[in-house]
A and B are shown apart, each in its own frame.
Chain A
Amino acid sequence: MQKDPEFQEMLAGIRERRGDDVRIEDIGEVVQSMLVSMRGNISSSDMEMFTELESLADYIRLAKREIAALRPDEVKSEHLRTASDELDAIVLATADATNAIMDSTELIEAVMDDVEPEVQAKLMTATTGIYEACTFQDITGQRITKVVTALKHIKDTVDGLLNAFGDEIAKYREANPKQVDVPEVASIPSDEDLLEGPQLEGKGNNQAEIDALLASFD
C-alpha cells in the first residue's frame, strides 16, 4: 500500500506525543483523516474499506460511551477506596481482639502456680489451645494483604481506563449528573440508609457520645 506522507506525518506526531500508548480519541482522528483523504476515484474495494472503517468508527464510539457509562472514576474514588479502608479496619480489629484474648490468657497462666496440679494441667491445655487458635490473626492478615494487592491491580487497570477515556467520562458525567435522592422529610433516614454496618475509626459515635446523645432526649 502506498504511504500517504500527510498520514505518516500525523502518525509520527502521535507517536512523538504519546509513544505507543495511543488514546482512543487519537485513533478516531486518524480514521477520520483516512476517510477524508479517500477522495477522487473511489473503487468498489475502496467503498468496501470505507464501510468497514465507518463501522469500526461507530464501534469505537459505542464502546467509548459504554465504558464511560460504567463510571470507572466512581469505581476508583468511592468503591475501591471504601474496600481498602474496610480491609485495613479488619486487620486492626482482629489484631486488637487477638491481643485482648492473649492478655486474658496470660492472666490465667499467671495464677496456674496457685492451683492444684490437676487443675493446673487443665488450665495449661486450655491456654495452649487459645494460643494455637490465636494464630488465625496472622493467616487472615496475610490473606487480606493478598486482597489488597488484587485491589491495587484493579485500581491500576481503572487508572488506565481513566487515562484512555477521561474526556468521554467527563462528557458522560456532565450529561448524566448523579441523582441525589431527597427524602420527603430530610431529617428521617430510610431503613436502607440505616444499614451501613460497622463504622471506620473516627466515624460514627463511641459509647460516651451515644450516651450523651440519648441523654439529650431527656
Chain B
Amino acid sequence: MAVDMNMKILIVDDYKTMLRILTNLLRQLHFTNIEEASDGQEALSKLRQDKFDFVISDWNMEPMTGIQLLREVRADDSLKHIPFIMITAESKSENVIAAKEAGVSNYIVKPFNAETLKTKLSSVLGDF
C-alpha cells in the first residue's frame, strides 16, 4: 500500500532548531502535513485534540519526557495504534530497551542523517 504523503505527523522536541531541521528533512522526503510540539505534555494534548498518523519525538524534555509521552500514548485506547519513533541523543542500551518495552516503533540516535530518517520511517510505514 502506498504511503500517504499527506499523513499528519507530530514532531516533538524542546529545541526549536531541531523541530525546524526535522520539518525541513520531512518536507524533502515529500511529507507535507507536519505539526510541532515542544514537550511531551503539549504533544499529548495535541494528540488528544486532533487526529495524528505518526509521532516522532525527542526523549529529553521537560515537564514530560519522550518516554513518558510514549507510555501515555500506548496506555490510551484511542492513541495506542499510532506509530511512534524516538529520536534522541540517549544512546545507552538501557534507554533503547526501556523505549522498546514502552512500545516504541523505532529508534533514531542523534546526530542522524536524512537517509537514517527515511530508512526508519520506511520500516514503520513501508517504502515510499
Point out residues on A near B: beta carbons under 8 Å: 95, 98-99, 102, 105-106, 109, 124, 127-128, 131-132, 134-139, 141-142
Contact = CB atoms under 8 A, between A and B. Distances in A.
Contacts, number: 51
Nearest to A99: B17
B17 A131 contact: no
Contact of A106 (B18, B24, B110, B114): B24
A102 B28 CA distance: 14
Q: Label chain A's interface by main secondary structure.
A: helix
Interface residues of B, number: 16
B68 interface: no
B111 interface: yes
A148 to B, nearest CB: 14
Given A135-B110, A135-B111, A127 B28 contact: yes
8 contacts: A105-B24, A109-B24, A128-B28, A131-B114, A132-B113, A136-B111, A138-B18, A139-B89
A116 to B, nearest CB: 18
Nearest to A106: B24
Interface in B3-23: 13, 15, 17-18, 20-21
Closest 10 A/B residue pairs (Cβ): A135-B111, A132-B113, A128-B114, A138-B18, A138-B15, A131-B21, A98-B17, A137-B17, A131-B24, A134-B21
